Amino acid sequence: MTPSPSDPPSRRADTRAPAKLQQLPSWLLSQASAHGTRLVAEALATEGLRRSHYRVMSALEELESASQIELGAHVWLDRSDLHGVVVELERRELVVRERDPIDRRRNVVTLSAGGRTTLARLDALVATAQAQLVEPLSAPEREQLIALLGKLVETPD
């Protein structure tokens, strides 16, 4: 009756969730998303970073450089939270932040050399987490899932 004390933190209950909930897309998405979030967070924690750090660094890899507002739009981070993330990344010297000489309201953020090599390690960690996440699915099922989720998330306009 009692959850064994050796269970990994939280995940999984002994008892089945209400049948009604088990059929709700929103409930299933929450469960699956929470699982994925946990796997990725644990993987990134081995480098002492969080998911928002990875998101921002990935965006910078693609954009070369960007203002904080642009970054926030790319990775769906609030301006306020993005500020904290960028400050932390700067403190670890993973990114460089400078005033834009043309428009001095903006901070131009760029990956540092160390940031690039760190990002490569993070990519590997995240890839492993993804593999664990989709492990119960066959290869074609994985593609199906990605396609279906893509449709759900697509900007409708």
Partner DNA sequence: CATATCTCAGAGAGACTGAAATAG
Partner DNA sequence: CCTATTTCAGTCACTCTGAGATAT
With CB under 8 A as the contact rule, which of the stretches 62-70, 88-96, 97-105, 107-115 interacts with a second copy?
62-70
Q: Which of 4, 15, 26, 80 binds DNA (CB under 7 A)?
A: 80
Among 17, 24, 28, 34, binds DNA (CB under 7 A): 34
Give residues 8-37 in contact with a second copy (rule: CB under 8 A): 10, 12-26, 28-37
CA dihedral of 130, 50, 63, 111, whole degrees rounded to 10: -120
Q: How many CB atoms lie within 10 A of CB 44?
A: 20
Alpha-carbon distance 157 to 154, whole Å? 9
From DNA, a second copy, none, interface partner of 28 (C-beta below 5 to 8 A by class) = a second copy
Report long-range pairs for 72-80 (Cβ below 8 Å, ≥24 apart): 77/52
144 touches, from a second copy, DNA, none (C-beta below 5 to 8 Å by class): a second copy
Question: In this complex, which beta carbon is closest to a second copy, that of residue 30 or of residue 98?
Answer: 30
The whole-angstrom separation of Cα 143 and Cα 124 is 20
Beta bridge partner(s), residue 98: 108
Shortest distance in whole angstroms from residue 131 CB to DNA: 20
The rounded distance, in Å, linking the Cα atoms of 94 and 23 is: 43
Site for DNA in 4-33 (CB under 7 A): 9-11, 30
Neighbours of 47 (CB within 10 A): 14
87 or 149: whose CB is closer to DNA? 87
What are the residues binding DNA (CB under 7 A)?
A: 1-2, 9-11, 30, 34, 37-38, 41, 50-52, 67-69, 76-81, 83, 86-87, 103-107
